[in-house]
């Protein structure tokens, strides 16, 4: 029987960059949350590992053996190979942790089929700073480079969310390189809702400098009376949270009518 997992879209409800590190990474504090939509991975036991890519954004992934799905498979011991079909529904280089979410889904597939090694967290972190959080795919706080995870009192589960992307990719390294270097302070205290509302994304201005369409998207989202509208991660995707699905759906229609080229996805926070 095949095993299917959704690679849930990751959003950063808040992202506070605290310092540059000597190793080229950054000290940060972030509130991770996950949307109940994303890429879909279907796995079958096989003699050897294989990956098949399809979907709207499959052509943006490059060669299959170089992406995070293949690399995640290589990190996990198993008694058999796995053939995985990846339906790539999330845009690439979009601040949604798409590749990390795919890797996280691979870890969950292997956990269900065979179990994970005790050091799975270290194996996940070796693939990327967002991967451990994406394995869990639950609201949590990330510190350090994002791999040091803490539980968050979740006051936002089930909240309707709208994702919007201008169909422009952004390099995470390029955005971080434009960060001012000034420490504007830690995450706020409180539950997820309070942290999100009182927090910020320190990469928003650097990303807008590289991709001005982000500012246009934020203006459009803020014009739909959301609870909160903000850029996710290093961009260029922005999100808006709403009080109910009707308001979210009305916002999606309003934005689609005025900016039909923009990609969007509707869902709810997990």
Compute the distance between CA of residue 131 and CA of residue 8 in angstroms, rounded to an integer. Answer: 12
Question: Considering 10, 75, 88, 136, which one is annotated as catalytic?
Answer: 10
**H-helix segments, 151-212:** 172-177, 192-198, 204-210
Question: Which of 66, 145, 144 minimizes the C-alpha distance to 103?
Answer: 66
130 is catalytic: yes
| Helix or strand (DSSP H, E) at 201 | none
Dist CA 61 CA 63 (whole Å):
7
Q: Do the Cβ atoms of 36 and 194 come closer than 8 Å?
A: no
CB burial readout 84-94, b (16+ within 10 A) else e: bbbbbbbbbbb
CA distances from 18 to 41, 75, 188, 202, 269 (A): 35, 30, 13, 9, 26
Q: Indicate if 246 belongs to the active site.
A: no
Question: Under a CB-based contact definition with an 8 Å cutoff, are residues 229 and 239 in contact?
Answer: yes
Does residue 203 contact residue 233 with C-beta atoms inside 8 Å? Answer: yes
Separation between Cα atoms, residue 257 and residue 174, nearest integer Å: 32
Q: Which residues contact 198 (CB under 8 A, 6 or more apart)?
A: 188, 190
Task: Tell which residue, 188, 206, 205, has the closest CA to residue 197.
Answer: 188
User: Residues 39, 87, 102, 130: which is the catalytic one?
Assistant: 130
Q: Which sequence positions are flagged as catalytic?
A: 10, 130
């Amino acid at each position: 029987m095949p095993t299917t997992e959704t690679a849930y879209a990751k959003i950063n409800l808040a992202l506070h960059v605290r310092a540059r590190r000597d190793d080229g990474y950054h000290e940060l504090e972030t509130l991770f949350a996950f949307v109940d939509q994303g890429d879909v991975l279907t796995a079958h036991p096989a003699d050897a590992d294989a990956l098949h890519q399809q979907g709207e954004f499959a052509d943006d992934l490059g060669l299959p053996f170089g992406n995070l799905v293949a690399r995640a498979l290589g990190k996990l011991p198993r008694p058999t190979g796995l053939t995985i079909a990846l339906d790539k529904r999330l845009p690439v280089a979009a601040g949604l942790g798409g590749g990390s979410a795919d890797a996280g889904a691979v870890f969950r597939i292997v956990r269900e089929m065979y179990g994970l090694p005790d050091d799975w967290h270290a194996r996940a972190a070796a693939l990327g700073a967002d991967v451990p959080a994406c394995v869990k795919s639950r609201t949590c706080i990330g510190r350090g480079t994002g791999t040091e995870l803490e539980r968050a009192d979740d006051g936002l589960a089930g909240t309707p969310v709208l994702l919007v992307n201008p169909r422009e990719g952004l390099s995470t390294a390029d955005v971080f390189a434009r960060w001012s270097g000034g420490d504007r302070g830690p995450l706020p205290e409180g539950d997820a809702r309070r942290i999100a509302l009182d927090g910020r994304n320190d990469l928003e201005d650097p990303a807008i400098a590289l991709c001005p369409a982000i500012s246009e998207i934020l203006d459009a989202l803020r014009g739909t009376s959301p609870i909160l509208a903000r850029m996710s991660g290093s961009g260029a995707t922005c999100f808006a949270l709403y009080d109910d699905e009707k308001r979210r759906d009305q916002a999606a229609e309003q934005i689609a009518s005025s900016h039909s080229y923009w990609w969007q996805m509707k869902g709810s926070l997990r």
